[in-house]
Amino acid sequence: MARKPLMAGNWKMNKTIGEAVVLAQDISNQYDDRWDACDVVVCPPFVDLKPAKTVFEFDRVPVGVGAQNVYWEEKGAFTGEISVPMLKEIGCEWCIIGHSERRGYFGETNEDVNKKAKALLSAGIHPIICVGESLAVRDAGDALEFVCAQVRAAFAGIDAAQANECVVAYEPIWAIGTGRTATPEQAQEVCSAIRATLSELYGAEVSDAIRVLYGGSMNPGNVEMLIAQPDIDGGLIGGAALEASSFVQLIKACI
């Protein structure tokens, strides 16, 4: 089954509101209708979500906006957290969850990721569920087992119709921000195992429809080889998404 590619930029903790508006505007200025063959999403810091969304809405360009994290409770005494209804009101259609930086620096667990996924799905926001192994796990030969266990945990209790609304991003930790990209074969091997796990959970029809992205030092020089792999449906981009010129090159590689 043909899956529509998805290019998502994860801006991480970069760009003040002013800088975010400039970058969103730069991306918007380069839009042409061939992009419609690819879903394009940017995931700025929380404070930049509304300003970035406003740029794309004003220009009427189909670039979606996503958050980088969310909390599963609707409201209340959870100082510093942001809820699903808050994202919904901004017009967020996407939300990254379980990024390795959140798992590593902020102690996010598989159980948290699962709760976040369910909260997002109940509001119709697409979770972009990140999974990926450390170098130690890879060197021990356990990458596939580790990543597939993360997938099973993230999807626990989620039914097939909801699973269809999710995206999985395979981001090997050793490839993030290091300039050391997974080879296309390494990335394909894990993305294919992710799809096989989804197939075990939901059957072939659903697993064939779910997009699996690769992330980790993806750039205009390696994008073609990566997205040429049968189970890689696009990218979750860090560094190369911080400049419109490189992000747009990545989008163009998908269309």
> Quick count: other Cβ atoms within 10 Å of Cβ 104?
12
Min. distance of Cβ 17 from ligand 13P in angstroms? 21
Q: Specify the stretch interacting with ligand 13P by CB under 6 A; choose among 44-52, 114-122, 139-147, 232-240.
A: 232-240
171 is known as an active-site residue: yes
Catalytic-labelled residue, pool 73, 99, 133, 205 = 99
Min. distance of Cβ 236 from ligand 13P in angstroms? 4
Is residue 176 a contact residue for ligand 13P (CB under 6 A)?
A: yes
Taking residues 73 to 112 in sequence order and writing x for each that binds ligand 13P by CB under 6 A, - otherwise, the string is --------------------------x-------------
SS (H, E, C) the chain: CCCCCEEEEECCCCCCHHHHHHHHHHHHHCCCHHHHHCEEEEECCHHHHHHHHHHHHHHCCCEEEEECCCECCCCCCCCCCCEHHHHHHHCCCEEEECCHHHHHHHCCCHHHHHHHHHHHHHCCCEEEEEECCCHHHHHCCCHHHHHHHHHHHHCCCCCHHHHCCCEEEECCHHHCCCCCCCCHHHHHHHHHHHHHHHHHHHCHHHHHHCEEEECCCCCCCCHHHHHCCCCCCEEEECHHHCCHHHHHHHHHHCC
126 is known as an active-site residue: no
Min. distance of Cβ 223 from ligand 13P in angstroms? 11
Q: Specify the stretch interacting with ligand 13P by CB under 6 A; choose among 102-110, 144-152, 220-228, 230-238.
A: 230-238
Taking residues 9 to 38 in sequence order and writing x for each that binds ligand 13P by CB under 6 A, - otherwise, the string is -x----------------------------
Is residue 236 a contact residue for ligand 13P (CB under 6 A)?
A: yes
Is residue 151 a contact residue for ligand 13P (CB under 6 A)?
A: no
Min. distance of Cβ 169 from ligand 13P in angstroms? 7
* One of 20, 154, 187, 218 touching ligand 13P (CB under 6 A): 218
Who contacts 185 (Cβ-Cβ below 8 Å, separation ≥6)? none
Contact residues toward ligand 13P (CB under 6 A) are 10, 99, 171, 176-177, 215-218, 236-240
Catalytic sites, residue numbers: 99, 171
